[in-house]
Amino acid sequence: MLFLFFILICSVITNYSNIVTHFFSYKDFLMKQFGSRVQKLTIDAGFTCPNRDGSKGLNGCTYCENDAFNPSYCISHKPVKQQIEEGIEFHKNRYRRAESYLAYFQAYSNSYAALEKLKEIYKPAIEHPQIKGIVVGTRPDCLEDEKLDYFAELAQKLFVSIEIGIESIRDETLNKINRKHDFQCALDALQRIKARNLHAGAHFIFGLPNETPEMWLEDVKIINKLPLNSIKFHQLQIIKGTQMEREYLENPISFYPFTMDSYIIYIVDFVERLNPTFAIERFAGEVPPRYLSVNNWGTIRYDVVLQKIIKEFEKRGTRQGVKIIL
Ligand code: SF4
């Protein structure tokens, strides 16, 4: 009887350790970094983007609709301090275990302003007693050395992560989606971020026009060599009213037709080949259904997608990096 009980406990422990070790999660990374639960608060500090204000372009990336990604408390005309307070209040009930927060400057390009202006914008976050760090979401072409030096100076006092949108490593795709920068620009930014010992994050989209899963399973070899600490993946979500919606309606065949089930199979294939030192923050995106146009998965929460991904890992008995080819 005692022996059977021992076997049962061993099997529970083995299953549990499989669940928690299928991939290196950003949540685990934060737990290691801060020793307690830390929650990200999204801030819209009223930045714009060089691909919107005319300095590089006026129409933006073909898929871009920032309103679709912002939570309701996050409105740019509110002062940053007020957004932080309201964000803490909003998350308090949902994540009771969170004691401290990261201010996530997400909307548009959060390093696209003069240095003195940046200092003014980031000050309320840096001085807030419950903010343990900042995450700066930006474009790789908005990271001049003097700004990175400023962020490196801040990193002496608090956690600073620079998160850049790379989206694709293929220049023909970056061109097609009107990013107005190439992959080399992202590489250069990442090297300068790492030279200052800042946390480097990157964002990729799977499903951009003329790309296929076979291509991404090749691209992962290049992604694995990037000087990254964390990474986010999104399936392409086509937002109403965007240039990409028009392109999809004209030529749907140029978009890979991911269903949720085929995406799950693919993303596990991809992560099996992914550098295991990269903390994964997201496997898929979630946009309020009212923004979604064609080719979407309907109303589905991210935690449901995540559970399905974990199940696929369990079924295969694999984890991040088991099939890595460097
Ligand atoms: S860089 Fe970002 S904010 Fe600017 S247009 Fe592209 S997706 Fe939108």
The CATH number of the domain holding residue 98 is 3.20.20
Domain membership of residue 282 (yes or no) is yes
Q: How far is the CA of 9 from the centre of ligand 1 (A)?
A: 50
Residue 153 domain boundaries:
23-316
Q: How far is the CA of 165 from the centre of ligand 1 (A)?
A: 9
Overall number of domains in the chain: 1
Q: How far is the CA of 22 from the centre of ligand 1 (A)?
A: 32
Domain membership of residue 6 (yes or no) is no
Domain membership of residue 18 (yes or no) is no
19 has a pLDDT exceeding 90: no
Residue owning tokens 């974990």: 310
Pocket of ligand 1 from Cβ distances under 6 Å: 49, 51-52, 60-61, 64, 66, 108-109, 139, 165
16 has a pLDDT exceeding 60: no
Nearest atom in ligand 1 to 179's CA = 6
| pLDDT number for residue 72 | 55
Q: How many residues does the chain have?
A: 326
Tell me how far the alpha carbon of residue 188 is from its chain's centroid: 19
Q: How far is the CA of 208 from the centre of ligand 1 (A)?
A: 15
DSSP letters along 264-300, please? HHHHHHHHHTS-TTSEEEESS----GGGB-SS---S-
The per-residue pLDDT for range 74-119, each reduced to its tens digit, is 567 799 999 999 999 888 877 666 779 999 999 999 999 999 999 9
The per-residue pLDDT for range 22-72, each reduced to its tens digit, is 999 999 999 999 998 899 999 999 999 999 999 999 999 999 986 655 555
| pLDDT number for residue 9 | 38
Domain membership of residue 10 (yes or no) is no
Surface-to-core class of residue 56, CB atoms within 10 Å of its CB (0-12 exposed, 13-18 middle, 19+ buried): middle
Domain membership of residue 3 (yes or no) is no
Nearest atom in ligand 1 to 178's CA = 6
List % helix, strand, coil for the chain (3-state, nearest 5). Answer: 45, 15, 40
Domain membership of residue 324 (yes or no) is no
pLDDT band at residue 291 using 50, 70 and 90 as cut-offs:
confident
135 has a pLDDT exceeding 90: yes
